[in-house]
């Protein structure tokens, strides 16, 4: 059957489908699936978050996923080929999880450092974001799995995200916030795009004209536009707009009300048909993709390499790093992020990692028995229970045993539990189960009064060696997904424990039967010292070791989806801890485990500062690789890092009277920093290396329909390394209000010690154009200055320096 006859058949089938059935097709069938229709040959399409792995559609922590670095960590590599490889590995993960489309990448921009989801987005820069996203999407889709760039568009903050109306000039939209979407749509042709929760210039994105133009029209997007989850807010407004699929579903506003709206002529039936045709295109891609073979492969080595490739060396006084080959004989690993490392950010972007390598394990793997590695808490990020750490809970070789019980308490099934926190959707529990018992042997590392309990919305009872210690019933709070996933209370009781002596902990938990999913996890809290005593213990450990590695960071309570940050300070007494450890040991390396900027008042006092972001499941191994010098820290900042929040160009994400105005226009990120004082702590593009590079020549040449730069670069150091070329532009004679300088192109090259190469960096014409509301894109006949610089802070000097070149905007 030819494609044309297939189309005719499908068109015929579509024309005979009852209206009710058609309307049912354009909203989801549950949380992660669309509805199939045999008459149309339309398969059920399974989608899943993403973007650091593939969580799967079953809502079941027993199905693990690779956990790659979060968006900022990936973007810090500035490496398109790495992002493409990540995409390909994600396709393998999707196939393993029986998923057709991964809900990512997240390509909103870093407008303010306060935005809660910056960790998930790539950068403040539209070109870096768009090019890396295009590589990621190309990688996934090359293996027959779809990608879904999100959130279209201007979803740069979480505050009131479903209600806010963002106000942006057309030029700002085009040159900044739409630009990554245009890049990825034109260059990587994603199968889906997700319409954001927020509004733009008066209309929610699921009802916004931008979905039709430029997305579907001018840019030629031929995939399906899916609403963000529960982002369809009206019946006719959204149905008349170009949004094709309401998720999850069935969506009530697109149910009987929409059938009625079509019947009474408010929405033409042809609009519904148009949406279904988009879903049919998606369905064909999915069907073809399912026939494409994907060889399963181990994600570990790539996750490890990616984490190191994005690690940014911010400071390295006296070249303290790498620690090898000379030493060290002992390392004091200190700080909350050493013991409770964050491999990924919170919210929908979280996956259930196959495993995680904690920092101490990574160092011990690399160093072997001969080097002493101690761990010390130093500070706490929050009160309350924490999840048990790897190794604290064991039962028959697994962390916990799960016994599924029916309503009468009879055991239906017993299984080994992979994690101590369970997340289960309706289909994720054995038939007839009404409760679960988690059972484990817990071995404390300290003697004293512990709190033992759980976190979860439901009816729970915890026993220790058969004696009840805590119970609560919160089943009446199960109506709200966010509350179930992240807002559950701690329930715990005190128990006297002896270090090294295991106890049997059991939690019997009955979930609220009528809700779509439940989450429950064991929780523990050790006896704490006073904050002064914690710091004193850390100081002692630092003094006794050759090198101190202090690991600090954010917590899920301050950096996650669903809310914005209120401060960039490290939570708890972490700043005091770092200062005290630096004072105790001059060889102190500070490791920052955060997805986005934090204030670092001690940054000039530390021997070295490494930024590891949320580095994924291979965190410990990658950190050891970088610290010891097996691998270089390959990262450069994808976003400018303020010294203090107050210095940043945009210091609030709170709407006023429902509106958030992007008043800085196109001057976001380094473009904004360029026109103000004081300078940031670290500029966009900053990142030190274990080797050194020198650029000796820079020239321009016509390339295709544009221009490219050629840099002659030499590795002048003693070890191999990655050079990241950043080419900045300025247009001093421009007639329009342009940034003082901006990133016009980038590229990377791997060079052995002493090696030289000519690196060609494409400078897309779009890097020079501006958007005019009347005429569209304009390539101004003006003289553009171009120069390579090691970060945006060096750009102004480089553009006035000896290597600068000029381009008159003429296209050969
Ligand atoms: C997020 C999306 C995500 C969706 C499904 C929403 O809350 O904004 O990024 O894909 O949930 O989990």
Give the pLDDT band of residue 544 (cuts 50, 70, 90): very high
Residue owning the nearest CA to atom 9 of ligand 1: 348
Predicted local distance difference test score (pLDDT) of residue 687: 98
What's the half-sphere exposure (Cβ side, CA atoms, 13 Å) at 360? 18
What is the pTM assigned to this prediction?
A: 0.97
Residue owning the nearest CA to atom 4 of ligand 1: 229
- Ligand 1 centroid to 192 CA: how many Å? 14
- Ligand 1 centroid to 216 CA: how many Å? 22
Instruction: Identify the sign of the CA torsion 659, 665, 666, 671.
Output: negative
Atom of ligand 1 at shortest range from CA of 120: 9
What distance in Å separates the CA atoms of residue 454 and residue 440, rounded to the nearest whole number? 13
Q: What is the pLDDT of residues 248-272, one digit of tens each?
A: 999 999 999 999 999 999 999 999 9
Q: What is the pLDDT of residues 357-404, one digit of tens each?
A: 999 999 999 999 999 999 999 999 989 999 999 899 999 999 999 999
303: enclosing H helix or E strand: helix 300-310
Mean pLDDT calculated for residue range 591-613: 98
- Ligand 1 centroid to 437 CA: how many Å? 30
Eight-class DSSP state of 214: I
Pocket test for ligand 1, best of 117, 227, 229, 232 (most atoms within 8 A of CB): 229
Predicted local distance difference test score (pLDDT) of residue 517: 86
Phi, psi angles (nearest 5°) of residue 89? -70, -35
Atom of ligand 1 at shortest range from CA of 148: 10
Q: Is residue 5's pLDDT more than 70? A: no
- Ligand 1 centroid to 226 CA: how many Å? 11
**CB-based contact 298:162 (threshold 8 Å):** no
The angle at the Cα of 740, spanning 734 to 744, to the nearest 5 degrees, equals 85
Which residues, judged by CB distance below 6 Å to any ligand atom, belong to the binding site of ligand 1? 49, 103, 150, 228-229, 348
Residues of the chain with pLDDT > 70: what percent? 99
Pocket test for ligand 1, best of 103, 121, 350, 516 (most atoms within 8 A of CB): 103
Least confident of 282-291, 323-332, 632-641: 323-332
Mean pLDDT calculated for residue range 506-531: 92
- Ligand 1 centroid to 53 CA: how many Å? 14
Which DSSP string corresponds to 550-614? EEEE--TTTSBTTS--S--SPSTTHHHHHHHHHHH-SSEEEEEE-SS----TTTTTSSEEEE--S
Atom of ligand 1 at shortest range from CA of 161: 8
Task: Take residue 305 and report the two structure tokens written for it.
Answer: 């390499």
Predicted local distance difference test score (pLDDT) of residue 485: 82
Atom of ligand 1 at shortest range from CA of 50: 10
**CB-based contact 51:99 (threshold 8 Å):** no
Q: Is residue 327's pLDDT more than 80? A: no
Pocket test for ligand 1, best of 348, 516, 563 (most atoms within 8 A of CB): 348
Atom of ligand 1 at shortest range from CA of 103: 10
**CB-based contact 787:799 (threshold 8 Å):** yes
Domains of the chain are: 3-290 (3.20.20.300), 322-380+529-632 (3.40.50.1700), 386-525 (2.60.120.260), 693-807 (2.60.40.10)
Q: Is residue 488's pLDDT more than 90? A: no
What distance in Å separates the CA atoms of residue 452 and residue 491, rounded to the nearest whole number? 8
User: By three-state DSSP, how is residue 38 classified?
Assistant: helix
273: annotated active-site residue: no
Instruction: Identify the sign of the CA torsion 731, 737, 740, 746.
Output: negative
Residue owning the nearest CA to atom 7 of ligand 1: 229
Residue owning the nearest CA to atom 11 of ligand 1: 229
Q: Is residue 582's pLDDT more than 60? A: yes
Atom of ligand 1 at shortest range from CA of 49: 10
Atom of ligand 1 at shortest range from CA of 196: 8
Pocket test for ligand 1, best of 32, 49, 58, 196 (most atoms within 8 A of CB): 49
What distance in Å separates the CA atoms of residue 763 and residue 19, rounded to the nearest whole number? 50
- Ligand 1 centroid to 48 CA: how many Å? 9
Q: What is the pLDDT of residues 718-732, one digit of tens each?
A: 999 999 999 999 999
Predicted local distance difference test score (pLDDT) of residue 609: 98
Least confident of 202-211, 317-326, 535-544: 317-326
Give one word for 265, left, alpha or beta, with left for phi > 0 and alpha for psi -120 to 50: left
- Ligand 1 centroid to 150 CA: how many Å? 9
Q: Which of the following is catalytic: 49, 79, 131, 228?
A: 228
What distance in Å separates the CA atoms of residue 228 and residue 205, rounded to the nearest whole number? 9
- Ligand 1 centroid to 263 CA: how many Å? 32
CA distances from 487 to 80, 345, 434, 453 (A): 37, 16, 22, 16
CA distances from 75 to 235, 311, 351 (A): 38, 10, 19
Q: Is residue 566's pLDDT more than 80? A: yes
- Ligand 1 centroid to 229 CA: how many Å? 6
Give the pLDDT band of residue 812 (cuts 50, 70, 90): low
Least confident of 3-12, 196-205, 522-531: 3-12
Give one word for 673, left, alpha or beta, with left for phi > 0 and alpha for psi -120 to 50: alpha
**Residue from 71, 230, 166, 271 nearest 659 by CA:** 166
Residue owning the nearest CA to atom 3 of ligand 1: 348
Helix and strand tally (H, E) in the chain?
19, 35
């Amino acid at each position: 059957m030819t494609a044309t006859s297939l189309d005719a058949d499908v068109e015929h089938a579509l024309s005979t489908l009852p209206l009710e059935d058609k309307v049912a097709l354009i909203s989801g069938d549950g949380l992660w699936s669309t509805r199939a229709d045999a008459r149309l040959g339309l398969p059920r399409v399974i989608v899943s978050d993403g973007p650091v792995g593939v969580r799967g559609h079953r809502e079941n922590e027993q199905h693990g996923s690779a956990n790659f670095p979060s968006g900022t960590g990936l973007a810090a590599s500035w490496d398109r080929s790495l992002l493409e490889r990540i995409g390909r590995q994600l396709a393998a993960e999707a196939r393993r999880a029986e998923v057709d489309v991964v809900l990512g990448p997240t390509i909103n921009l870093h407008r303010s450092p306060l935005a809660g989801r910056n960790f998930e987005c790539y950068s403040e820069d539209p070109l870096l974001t768009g090019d890396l996203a295009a590589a990621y999407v190309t990688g996934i889709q090359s293996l027959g799995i779809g990608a879904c760039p999100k959130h279209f568009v201007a979803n740069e903050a979480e505050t009131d995200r479903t209600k806010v109306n963002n106000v942006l000039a057309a030029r700002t939209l085009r040159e900044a916030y739409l630009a990554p979407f245009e890049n990825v749509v034109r260059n990587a042709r994603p199968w889906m795009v997700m319409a954001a929760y927020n509004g733009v210039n008066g209309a929610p994105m699921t009802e916004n004209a931008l979905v039709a133009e430029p997305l579907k029209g001018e840019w030629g997007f031929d995939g399906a536009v899916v609403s963000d989850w529960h982002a369809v807010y009206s019946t006719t407004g959204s149905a008349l707009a170009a949004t094709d699929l309401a998720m999850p579903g069935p969506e009530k506003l697109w149910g009987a009300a929409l059938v009625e709206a079509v019947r009474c002529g408010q929405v033409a039936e042809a609009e519904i048909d148009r949406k279904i045709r988009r879903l049919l295109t998606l369905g064909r891609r999915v069907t073809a993709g399912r026939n494409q073979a994907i060889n399963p492969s181990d994600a570990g080595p790539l996750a490890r390499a990616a984490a190191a490739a994005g690690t940014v060396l911010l400071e390295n006084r006296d070249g303290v790093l790498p620690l090898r080959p000379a030493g060290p004989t002992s390392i004091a690993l200190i700080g909350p992020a050493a013991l409770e490392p964050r491999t990924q950010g919170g919210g929908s972007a979280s996956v259930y990692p196959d495993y995680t390598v904690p920092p101490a394990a990574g160092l011990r793997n690399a160093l072997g028995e001969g080097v002493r590695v101690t761990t010390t808490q130093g500070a706490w990020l929050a009160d309350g229970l924490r999840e048990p750490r790897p190794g604290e809970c064991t039962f028959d070789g697994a962390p916990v045993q799960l016994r599924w019980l029916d309503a009468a308490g009879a055991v239906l099934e017993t299984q080994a539990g992979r994690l101590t926190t369970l997340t289960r959707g309706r289909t994720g529990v054995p038939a007839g189960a009404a409760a679960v018992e988690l059972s484990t042997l817990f071995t404390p590392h300290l003697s004293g009064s512990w709190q033992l309990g759980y976190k979860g919305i439901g009816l729970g009872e915890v026993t220790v060696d058969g004696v009840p210690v805590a119970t609560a019933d919160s089943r009446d709070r199960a109506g709200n997904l966010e509350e179930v996933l992240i807002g559950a209370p701690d329930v715990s009781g005190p128990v006297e424990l002896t270090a090294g002596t295991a106890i049997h902990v059991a939690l019997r938990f009955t979930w609220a039967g009528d809700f779509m999913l439940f989450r429950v996890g064991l929780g523990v809290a050790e006896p704490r010292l006073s904050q002064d005593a914690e710091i004193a213990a850390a100081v002692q450990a630092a003094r006794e070791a050759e090198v101190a590695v202090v690991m600090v960071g954010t917590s899920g309570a301050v950096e996650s989806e669903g809310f914005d940050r209120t401060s960039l300070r490290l939570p708890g007494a972490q700043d005091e801890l770092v200062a005290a450890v630096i004072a105790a040991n001059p060889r102190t390396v500070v490791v920052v485990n955060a997805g986005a900027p934090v204030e670092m008042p001690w940054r000039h006092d530390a021997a070295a500062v490494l930024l590891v972001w949320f580095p994924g499941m291979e965190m410990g191994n990658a950190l050891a690789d970088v610290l010891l010098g097996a691998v270089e820290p390959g990262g450069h900042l994808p976003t400018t890092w303020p010294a203090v929040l107050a210095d940043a160009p945009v210091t609030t994400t709170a709407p006023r009277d429902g509106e958030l105005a992007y008043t800085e226009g196109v001057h976001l990120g380094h473009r904004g920093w360029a026109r103000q004082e004081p300078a940031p702590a670290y500029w966009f593009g900053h990142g030190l290396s274990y080797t050194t590079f020198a650029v000796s020549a820079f020239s321009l040449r016509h390339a295709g329909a544009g221009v490219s730069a050629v840099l002659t670069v030499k590795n002048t150091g003693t070890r191999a390394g990655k050079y990241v070329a950043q080419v900045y532009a300025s247009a001093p004679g421009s007639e329009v209000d342009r940034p003082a300088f901006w990133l016009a192109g980038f590229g990377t090259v791997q060079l052995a010690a002493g090696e030289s190469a000519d690196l060609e960096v494409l400078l897309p014409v779009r890097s020079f154009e501006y958007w005019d509301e009347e005429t569209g894109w304009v390539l101004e006949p003006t003289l553009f200055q171009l120069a390579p610089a090691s970060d945006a802070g060096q750009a102004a000097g480089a553009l006035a320096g000896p290597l600068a070149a000029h381009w008159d905007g003429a296209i050969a």
